Amino acid sequence: MPTSCSSRTSTALSPDLSVRPASSPCQTEGEVVAIAQAGAGIFWLELALSLLPMSPMAGQFAMVGFKDTQDPLLNRPLSIASFEAGSTGCRVGFLVAIRGKGTRRLAEARQGHKLRVIIPMGQSFLRHVGPDQRRIIAVAGGVGVAPMVLLGRQIKQVSPEADFLLLYGAKTKAELAKRHLGLTDGLYVATEDGSEGFKGRVTELVEAERALLLQAGGSAKVFACGPLPMLYALNKLAERHRFDLVVSFEGPMGCGMGFCLGCAMENREGMYVKLCQKGPVMDAKEVDWERLTRSDELRGAGCDFKPA
Amino acid sequence: MPTSCSSRTSTALSPDLSVRPASSPCQTEGEVVAIAQAGAGIFWLELALSLLPMSPMAGQFAMVGFKDTQDPLLNRPLSIASFEAGSTGCRVGFLVAIRGKGTRRLAEARQGHKLRVIIPMGQSFLRHVGPDQRRIIAVAGGVGVAPMVLLGRQIKQVSPEADFLLLYGAKTKAELAKRHLGLTDGLYVATEDGSEGFKGRVTELVEAERALLLQAGGSAKVFACGPLPMLYALNKLAERHRFDLVVSFEGPMGCGMGFCLGCAMENREGMYVKLCQKGPVMDAKEVDWERLTRSDELRGAGCDFKPA
Amino acid sequence: MTSNRLEVTFLGKTIKNPIVAASGCYGYGLEQPELLPPEAFGAITLKGLSATPKRGNPPPRIAETPCGMLNSIGLENVGIEAFAKNTWPHLRGLGVPIIANFFGDDETEFQKAAQMLSDLEGLFAMELNLSCPNKPQWGRILASDPKVASRLVRLIKPLCRYPLIVKLSPNVASISEVAKACEDSGADALSLINTLLGMAIDVDAKSSRLGTRFGGLSGPSIYPIALRMVSEVSRAVRIPIVGMGGVSSPEDAIGMMLAGASLVGVGTLLLVNPFGVEEIKQGMLAYLDRHGLEKVACLQGRL
Amino acid sequence: MTSNRLEVTFLGKTIKNPIVAASGCYGYGLEQPELLPPEAFGAITLKGLSATPKRGNPPPRIAETPCGMLNSIGLENVGIEAFAKNTWPHLRGLGVPIIANFFGDDETEFQKAAQMLSDLEGLFAMELNLSCPNKPQWGRILASDPKVASRLVRLIKPLCRYPLIVKLSPNVASISEVAKACEDSGADALSLINTLLGMAIDVDAKSSRLGTRFGGLSGPSIYPIALRMVSEVSRAVRIPIVGMGGVSSPEDAIGMMLAGASLVGVGTLLLVNPFGVEEIKQGMLAYLDRHGLEKVACLQGRL
Ligand SMILES: Cc1cc2nc3c(=O)[nH]c(=O)nc-3n(C[C@H](O)[C@H](O)[C@H](O)COP(=O)(O)OP(=O)(O)OC[C@H]3O[C@@H](n4cnc5c(N)ncnc54)[C@H](O)[C@@H]3O)c2cc1C
Ligand SMILES: Cc1cc2nc3c(=O)[nH]c(=O)nc-3n(C[C@H](O)[C@H](O)[C@H](O)COP(=O)(O)OP(=O)(O)OC[C@H]3O[C@@H](n4cnc5c(N)ncnc54)[C@H](O)[C@@H]3O)c2cc1C
Ligand SMILES: Cc1cc2nc3c(=O)[nH]c(=O)nc-3n(C[C@H](O)[C@H](O)[C@H](O)COP(=O)(O)O)c2cc1C
Ligand SMILES: Cc1cc2nc3c(=O)[nH]c(=O)nc-3n(C[C@H](O)[C@H](O)[C@H](O)COP(=O)(O)O)c2cc1C
Ligand code: FES
Ligand code: FES
């Protein structure tokens, strides 16, 4: 059984940040216990941790890196998709899309391979959920579904009354990682080529299924994660249809720990905030959407989107 | 079945080198088909090549490197310990001692892992064997036994009449990689702690078994590979007892291909020669032993030997 | 007790181990008190501070490179006033020697920052950053010209209540020339190296992978350059050196000390492997044992 | 035929692809005619030659570093006379443009080498190496001072029968200053970068991992520095540039051209992955297709 991360009381406030980190991460070793294809270009990665971290909350992420090489050097941020702690140890699961050097090497890891893991980091979706929340609508594009897997499991603990719907879009059926969602009810799928579910983008599906938002007394909250163009379009919808939108950003990060200021993102007041501590989950109202997309600042997200 | 390396006729001589490379290496991919512990700190590595190279001759080496990272950057020279080409493909085997970053990562490779292989390189022991050779005595220290494995198999093809004896030393029994030698007859083992065979260094074993050298009409040839102190001591014996000694050096290399001049080693005439092309197998008489050991020039070989 | 085997003396003070957080890679020291406690370090260098707050550069600010990374943070900071009010009170009490890294956009701002930091109680030292490669405001990297560096050190040294460490740039033809100029102008110690000016291109977008055209290269890839510079400078000057640049293992840290460093800075390592600080300290102790040495201080300049 | 999509013009000549073997990493071009045939390259730069043979430095001459390597070969070579007699006849007939890299231990030797190379028939160009970090004889790296570089170029240019490429050093505060000085002094083209001066220590032996104290750093680790310098120099001069330093992938090579290089040199790559030359050429063609471009020459300076 893994030993628990030492927890010491600290009165110090994160100096230039009003948000206290949601939790204290710990650094540990993660041994690959399962790795499997989850869809075209997407795989499921499950690690057994040798330390027991604080329990992660949906929307939080881990920094995952290689111990046996310095190329790639930096740890990669990955949303926590599952977490189980038992008497025999603890396991964390990720859904990973192969994008570049780091994720490609991750995909080639075999059982027994040991990775560096710093976990859990950042703000969670859960702090945006009240106990009286009746409906949570998660909107996910591509591998942005990863945090929603954990959200689907945790939401019942936080708001037992809430129903949870997942609107999940991908380019094609092959790219859907449905097997790992742990969901059957309340799943609405969109594919751009119509090979499964609604034909079109997931934002179009949101528009089409707008009725879902209006039920449950109008108190539905939309949580979203996916490519920047999707989030941008969703925000437009939120403004038009006046629903609450909370988004998670996958912008590039250096350390994920608040040390380097490498994850700066401009907020509505024109101030740079650290996405790794203030985010990745943020209220859409705090975001300066026009600047974000105009200035191409989240180019790291692989976004070639130019707003019209 | 792998395609064969294209072979074109070339009249060009290696410009600053009198020795024409024994063979034209080709670059190919090697997939790990077997990897197993062979002794304490030593493992057996077997690769299936996707191209059919020229058949390697004992004493030749391959440059082996990682395709999925640039850290470690350089390929590592490894003596070819086995080679089999059949209709289903071709396999090459290595005995590897874990020394630093590169060999440690190699040891962690799993089946299916793909490596870069340039093979075969350098001069062989075989060009020092006449068809009339009656006795070959191989003296190996530690992982220096690797080329002797192939030598034991190939010697019969070249000199069918010759008998082949292997004098093989290691610190302890645990460090002997006996299972992979493919030899039962003619094996003489020495361990420094006496845990198997003769108690002492392999050079002391040579001294003790000097009679072996004198049989077969005095035409016995000694082929040796191992740490520099061992080779140095063996050369002293060769001078004293007047036997022919041919040694293989494991000095540090950059490219192994003759491009970089990184493997320079001074010969008897005080000239730098490229160990990767003129060696690694060299007639002991061509070597400037005093300079070699005095100047610490093969420090890369992990040698902390200071001659008395 | 093994722990005082790592003790070193630096600028007249006993430091409990030679590992120093490099500026900009450990924030203001309070970001992760549990993951990487400030007490792990012999001393902590803070993210660069200036008299007035600075916004820094537009994102993206980080691009990975082979065994390294580029950053174009651009010295974003809250300004010394806000720092003094909100952060310093929390930091002071920790008992870890604090080095305040500082800069200005022009000479007056440099002077102002030096004065403001001198007003703080309880700093260990001040580190003058003349070597940031992300300051177009400077026209050039100040520490790339011995005359410019010398002029600034002379200007600022008299304003400093605490020992002055000058941080040098590797983007020079002869770093020992600059080092000597700084020593002659009154620097109490030197720290080197800052990042190397570099660039990364997104070939598909045909643009820089950073929000700026260039950035500063750090991490393991620059270690051989840093080590050489520390070795060179340690033979050229008599003031002590904080050696840094790519240190990521016990061997790297030991190498820095053998080459002449009194303290060893770690920057990029902290972004990647916070536990590396502990690994380095343990590895140093193991090395001392292996070589029959009493104290890590024995290593210094032994090459 | 796709192959002429890789054609570029350099110094008035059509070169069949922009990939050039960097000096010292492909020997004299004849070492591995089957593994990596000379015809793979647009042009080949030979290992540095001098008027008289040079022994080079004592081993070890190579030390690996994170994503890079140090070398201290020290310009070992057979001398131009032996080269002309034994090697040149074999090389000439290949039809691949040959660039002869050369140097001397002093000014007279530099001049002598330039004259001797000018006596050869059929060279494509001469590359003046002012930037080797392994020449203690020089006192300093010649290309680290614009005045010294300029003086040598002026001295040597009149002796050259073939176009003169000057090879620059990254060990400078401002490489564009040196570049401009060389252009003004008559250089026909520039190549950059040579290696960065670095060091590696064997901490257990407490000594350099090379036979010399310092060596030259090359390989992927230096790519970001090389790219920045090519970008800087290409804006500062009008003569063409051979961009090199750490190129190891199609993207790296394309990046070099976007930053302003006309040709792309590969050095350390050849020591590691000879097949990389083919990978780069194929990757360039794929990139042209993806971006709807006709010729690789379109990329140049498009950043
Ligand atoms: C908080 C957070 C949570 C994330 N969760 C997941 C997840 O659960 N599953 C998943 O597959 N991915 C997730 N990502 C994205 C993932 O981190 C990147 O895809 C990954 O870092 C790319 O690394 P690479 O080495 O494969 O690509 P690189 O070679 O580094 O780059 C390839 C491409 O990816 C872009 N890129 C680099 N870093 C990032 C980044 N941090 N985010 C987005 N794009 C990047 C690059 O600009 C480039 O276009 C998350 C990112 C963040 C910030
Ligand atoms: C022709 C030749 C054949 C060889 N055959 C074998 C073999 O069959 N099996 C085997 O286990 N090893 C063999 N070696 C040695 C092997 O190449 C090295 O052990 C290996 O390169 C070390 O790499 P590393 O990354 O593990 O160590 P590094 O981290 O590079 O270094 C670890 C230690 O090994 C030393 N070292 C580095 N390069 C070499 C080198 N080329 N040779 C010796 N020591 C070196 C270093 O100086 C250091 O002390 C051979 C070497 C040569 C030149
Ligand atoms: C993200 C980041 C921010 C940095 N900020 C500063 C700074 O504010 N002031 C400074 O003098 N150096 C700064 N540096 C340079 C480091 O302190 C250090 O000199 C350099 O990174 C080399 O060390 P390393 O390779 O260990 O990171 C910064 C480096 C990085 C990577
Ligand atoms: C082993 C080796 C030998 C070299 N010899 C020379 C040389 O003789 N003349 C020269 O101008 N540059 C020489 N160089 C420098 C390279 O030509 C090149 O400029 C440098 O290595 C950077 O490119 P790379 O990173 O692609 O290797 C040498 C480099 C290496 C690695
Ligand atoms: S990623 Fe380093 S501060 Fe956020
Ligand atoms: S190792 Fe490169 S020439 Fe021998």
Q: Computed from CA positions of residues A197, A201, A206, A207, in that sequence, does the dihedral angle turn out positive or negative?
A: negative
The per-residue pLDDT of chain A, averaged, comes to: 85
* pLDDT range class, residue C136, cuts 50, 70, 90: confident
pLDDT of B286 reads: 92
At A133, the pLDDT band (50, 70, 90 cuts) reads: confident
Residue B85 within any structural domain of the chain: yes
Q: What are the DSSP calls for B211-275, one per residue?
A: HHHHTGGGT-EEEEES-HHHHHHHHHHHHHHT-EEEEE-----S-SSSSS-TTEEEBTTS-EEEH
For residue D98, the SS3 value is strand
For residue D128, the model assigns a pLDDT of 97
Report, as an integer, the average pLDDT of B2-18. 41
The answer to which of B242-246, B301-305, C171-175, D124-128 has the lowest mean pLDDT is B301-305
A222 confidence band (pLDDT: 50, 70, 90) = very high
A71 touches chain B (CB under 8 A): yes
SS3 C244: strand
Res B130: pLDDT: 80
Residue C94's alpha-carbon distances to C25, C33, C87, in angstroms, are: 19, 11, 12
Distances (CA, A) of D116 to A137, B291, D82, D96, D127: 79, 35, 11, 21, 13
β-strand partners of A190: A169, A198
Burial C88-124 (b: 16+ CB within 10 A, else e): bebbeebebbbbbbbbbbeeebbbbbbebbeebeebb
Instruction: Spell B92-101 as b/e; 16+ CB within 10 A means b.
Output: bbbbbbbeee
Task: Assign 3-class secondary structure to C280-297.
Answer: HHHHHHHHHHHCCCCCHH
Residue B214: per-residue pLDDT: 66
Look at the block and give the residue holding tokens 């102790």.
C285
Interface of C with A in 49-88 (CB under 8 A): 55-56, 58-62, 64, 66-69, 71, 73, 76, 78, 82-83, 86-87
Higher pLDDT, C237 or B268: C237
Does position B14 have pLDDT exceeding 60, yes or no? no
Does C268 reach chain A within 8 Å, measured CB to CB? yes
Task: Grade residue C251 by pLDDT with cuts at 50, 70 and 90.
Answer: very high
Least confident residue range of B30-34, B90-94, B264-268, C291-295: B264-268
Which one of B66, B71, B74 would you mutate to disrupt binding with C, by most C Cβ within 10 Å of its Cβ?
B71
Q: What is the structure's pLDDT at D3?
A: 65
* B37 three-class SS: strand
Predicted local confidence at residue A251, as pLDDT: 85
CATH of the domain at A35: 2.40.30.10
The residue nearest atom 10 of ligand 4, judged by CA position, is D23
The secondary structure of B83-124, three-state, reads EEEECCEEEEEEEEECCCHHHHHHHCCCCCCEEEEEEEECEC
Task: Provide the phi-psi class of C145: left if phi over 0, else alpha when psi is between -120 and 50, else beta.
Answer: beta
Assigned domain for B78 exists: yes
Residue having the nearest C-alpha atom to atom 41 of ligand 1: A252
Query: Alpha-carbon distance C206 to C93, whole Å?
Result: 49
Sequence ranges of the domains in chain D: 8-56+73-193+220-299
pLDDT of residue A150: 95
Q: Pocket of ligand 2, candidates B71, B101, B250, B305: which has the most ligand atoms within 8 Å of its Cβ, to mutate?
A: B250
At B74 the pLDDT is 98
Give the chain A residue whose CA is nearest to the CA of C94: A12
Q: What is the dihedral of CA A154, A155, A159, A162, to 10 degrees?
A: -150
Please give the model's pTM, rounded to 2 decimal places: 0.95
Q: State whether ipTM is beyond 0.90.
A: yes
Q: Can you give the pLDDT at residue C103?
A: 96
Identified catalytic residue from C132, C160, C182, C298: C132
Query: In ligand 1, which atom is closest to the CA atom of A279?
Result: 1
CA B2/CA A139 separation, integer angstroms:
49
Q: What is the mean pLDDT of residues B221-250?
A: 92
- Digit-coded pLDDT (tens) for B115-148: 999 999 999 999 998 877 788 899 999 999 999 9
Nearest chain C alpha carbon to A115: C273
Report the distance separating Cα C226 and Cα C256, nearest Å.
Answer: 9
Q: Show the ligand 6 pocket: residues with CB < 6 angstroms.
A: B 253-256, 258-263, 274, 276
Say if CB A144 and CB A250 are below 8 A apart.
yes
**Averaged confidence pLDDT in chain B:** 85
Q: Which residue of A has its CA nearest to D66?
A: A70
- Going by pLDDT thresholds of 50, 70 and 90, the confidence category of residue B305 is very low
Q: Average pLDDT of chain C?
A: 95
Best CA proximity match to A150, nearest among A227, A217, A223: A223
Q: Which residue has the higher pLDDT, A301 or C162?
A: C162
**pLDDT value, residue A13:** 35
- A-chain residues near B100 (CB < 8 A): none
Q: Which 3-state string (H, E, C) describes C180-230? A: HHHHHCCCCEEEECCCEEECCEECCCCEECCCCCCEEEECHHHHHHHHHHH
Pairing of strands A244-248, A221-225: parallel
pLDDT score recorded for residue B8: 39
**Which pLDDT belongs to residue A294?**
65
Q: What fold characterizes domain D8-56+73-193+220-299?
A: TIM Barrel (3.20.20)
**Predicted pLDDT at B295:** 53
- What pLDDT score was predicted for residue A11? 33
Q: How far is the CA of A78 from the centre of ligand 1 (A)?
A: 8
Q: Would B177 be classed as within a structural domain?
A: no
User: Lowest-confidence range among A96-110, A211-225, C75-89, D28-42?
Assistant: A211-225
In a domain, A26, yes or no: yes
Q: How many contacts (CB atoms, under 8 Å) link B and C?
A: 5
Query: So what's the pLDDT on residue C273?
Result: 98
CB A248 within 8 A of CB A58: no
- Give A160's pLDDT tier (boundaries 50, 70, 90): confident
d(C-alpha C299, C-alpha C254), whole Å:
7
pLDDT mean over C96-101: 98
3-state secondary structure of A84: strand
Work out the average pLDDT over C19-47: 97
Residue A172 CA from chain centroid, whole number: 21
C101 lines ligand 3 (CB under 6 A): yes
Q: Does some domain include residue B306? A: no
What is residue B162's predicted lDDT score, i.e. its pLDDT?
A: 82
Interface with B, mutate which of A69, A74, A106 (most B CBs under 10 A):
A69
Question: How would residue A308 be classed by pLDDT, with cut points 50, 70 and 90?
Answer: very low
Minimum Cα–Cα distance from C220: chain B residue: B71
Domain that includes residue A81, residue range = 17-121
Contact C255, C227 (CB under 8 A): yes
- Tell me if A25 is assigned to some domain: yes
Residue type, position D257, single letter: M
Average pLDDT over residues A52-72: 94
Report the distance separating Cα C262 and Cα C259, nearest Å. 10
pLDDT in tens, C154-172: 999 999 999 999 999 999 9
Strand ranges inside chain A, DSSP E = 3-4, 26-39, 42-49, 51-52, 61-66, 76-79, 82-86, 89-97, 114-121, 135-141, 163-170, 187-191, 198-199, 221-225, 244-248, 264-266, 272-274, 281-283
Cα separation of C241 and D172, whole Å?
Answer: 22
A266 vs A76, which has greater pLDDT?
A76
Which residues on A lie below 8 Å from D220 (Cβ)? 71
Q: Which residue has the higher pLDDT, D50 or C301?
A: D50
Is A17's pLDDT higher than 50? no
pLDDT given for residue C61 in this prediction: 96
Helix (H, G, I), strand (E, B) or coil at A116: strand
Instruction: Tell me what percent of the residues of chain C surpass a pLDDT of 70.
Output: 99
Beta-carbon separation of A108 and B70 below 8 A: no
Amino acid C3: pLDDT: 65
Chunk chain D into consecutive blocks of 10 residues (it has 303) and report each block's average pLDDT, rounded to whole numbers.
83 97 97 96 97 94 98 95 95 95 94 97 97 82 91 96 97 96 98 97 95 96 98 97 98 98 98 98 97 94 82
Contact status of A269 with chain B (Cβ, < 8 Å): no
Q: Kindly state the average pLDDT of the residues A210-234.
A: 82
**How close B101 gets to chain C, by Cα (Å)?**
13
Give, for ligand 4, the residue of D25, D129, D141, D171 to mutate: max count of ligand atoms closer than 8 Å to Cβ.
D25
Residue B152 maps to a domain = no
Q: Judge whether residue A158 has pLDDT over 90.
A: no
Q: Residue B294's pLDDT is what?
A: 65
Q: In the numeric block, which tokens belong to residue B182?
A: 């493919």
User: Tell me, what's the pLDDT at B297?
Assistant: 45
Which residue from D140, D199, D303 is facing C227, i.e. has the nearest CB? D199
Total count of domains within chain B: 1
Atom of ligand 2 nearest to the CA of B77: 17
What pLDDT, in 10s, does the model give residues B271-297? 899 999 999 999 999 998 888 776 554
Interfacial C residues in 161-190 facing B (CB < 8 Å) = none
pLDDT band at A180 (very low <50, low <70, confident <90, very high): confident
pLDDT of residue A14: 37
Residue percentage of chain B with pLDDT more than 70 = 86
Residue nearest to atom 46 of ligand 2 (CA): B300
